[in-house]
Chain A
Amino acid sequence: MQSIILPVDSDQYYVFTPVPTDSNFNANWVNGNAYFDELWYHRIDMRANGGAGKVIEKMPLEASQLSQSWMMVAGMRMEKICGW
């Protein structure tokens, strides 16, 4: 399982992390079968709190389609190379 940090600009970052929903956690954690069925993103502004940072937005991503999200990796898309 992985989480990812992606820079938005010099001060803001996205943090993506898979989590179990509350219902899944409550139903399955005790028997060790709770899986990560939501993928959340958090937008963080590192200028806030005197440089300590603050989550300014957070939301599940396409949760209905991403049951048991598991591993993530970020690739780089190059607008100049792709001719955009």
Chain B
Amino acid sequence: MALDSNKAYVFYVSHDTIMLQHTIGFPPYLKIFAELHGQSSFDATGEHFATVSNKFGGEFFYGDFDRCTGILSGIKRAVAPAKPFNAIIDSSITGLCLSPNGQLIYVIKRSHILQFKISDSTFYTVSGPDTTDIAFQGYKDGAVAPDGKLYIGNYDLIYKNMSVIDNPNGLFSNCNFCRKCLRSPGSIGLLGAFTLYAGF
């Protein structure tokens, strides 16, 4: 995604070639220079796509992806609700991740984590702040790892743990959110937002 043009750039990557295949126009984003929070995501089949920018209105997009042509289609817009509780923590979106089965979108806000059920556009709150407002680190970025679990990082990237969703296909409490359940075992080493590894 390119912030200034509102376009997705689709590259073809092979063993010996990387080439720009085509571009796809998106609905206008709010331009936010130096505001780098946001994510794009595919489901496990690669046939569903979702993307978000850190826009205070809570807006995100999702649609279908044709793996053969690289074309996005049926792009829809949704708006995540504000935090359902009283807290001083910023509620802007900091990440997004599709469930492996492509039926749920995890909308990660600094203050809490939402599930968006695509079939009926319903939001579920998976987790709010995991401690007091002052001590809470904030959530940022999420990705499904090769073990099938969804890992969620911390906002300012300097902590030694991540939260884990054991069953990201499960609705609401069935997803089994586990607060800070991935912990760095050493005395050094910080777990920030992570690089996406395509496991194929």
**8 Å CB contact of B15 from A9, A61, A73:** A9
**Which partner residue on chain A sits nearest B33 by CB separation?**
A33
Chain A interface mostly: loop
- The B interface is mostly helix, strand or loop, or mixed, namely strand
Query: Which of B20, B53, B67, B196 gathers the greatest number of chain A CB atoms within 10 Å?
Result: B196
Closest to B16 in A: A8
A4 and B198 in contact (CB under 8 A), knowing A14-B13, A71-B38, A75-B67?
A: yes
Please, how many residues of chain A have a CB less than 8 angstroms from a CB on the other chain?
37
B106 at the interface (CB under 8 A from A): no
Which residues from 15 to 51 on chain A have a C-beta closer than 8 Å to any C-beta of chain B? Answer: 15, 28, 32-36, 41
Residue among A2, A5, A72 with the most chain B CB within 10 A?
A: A2
Residue of A nearest to B31 (CB): A68
Is B195 a contact partner of A4 (Cβ separation < 8 A)? yes
* Bound CA span A14–B141, Å: 22
Q: Is the CB of B36 within 8 A of A1?
A: yes
The answer to whether B196 touches A74, judged by C-beta atoms less than 8 angstroms apart, is yes
B9 touches A81 (CB 8 A): no
Interface band, chain B: 35 or more
Residues of the B chain whose Cβ atoms lie less than 8 Å from the Cβ of A3: 195-196
A47-84: CB near B (< 8 Å → 1, else 0) gives 00000000000000110011111111111111001110
B196 x A73 contact (CB < 8 A): yes
Mask, B39-81, CB within 8 Å of A = 1, is 1111000100101010000000000010110100000000000
Instruction: Give me the interface of B with A, judged by CB distance under 8 Å.
Output: 1-5, 9, 11-13, 15, 18, 20, 33-34, 36-42, 46, 49, 51, 53, 65, 67-68, 70, 141, 195-198, 200
Pairs of residues from A and B, 7 with the lowest C-beta to C-beta distance, nearest first: A82-B68, A74-B198, A73-B40, A68-B3, A1-B36, A68-B4, A71-B1
Q: Which residues of A contact B (CB under 8 A)?
A: 1-9, 14-15, 28, 32-36, 41, 61-62, 65-78, 81-83
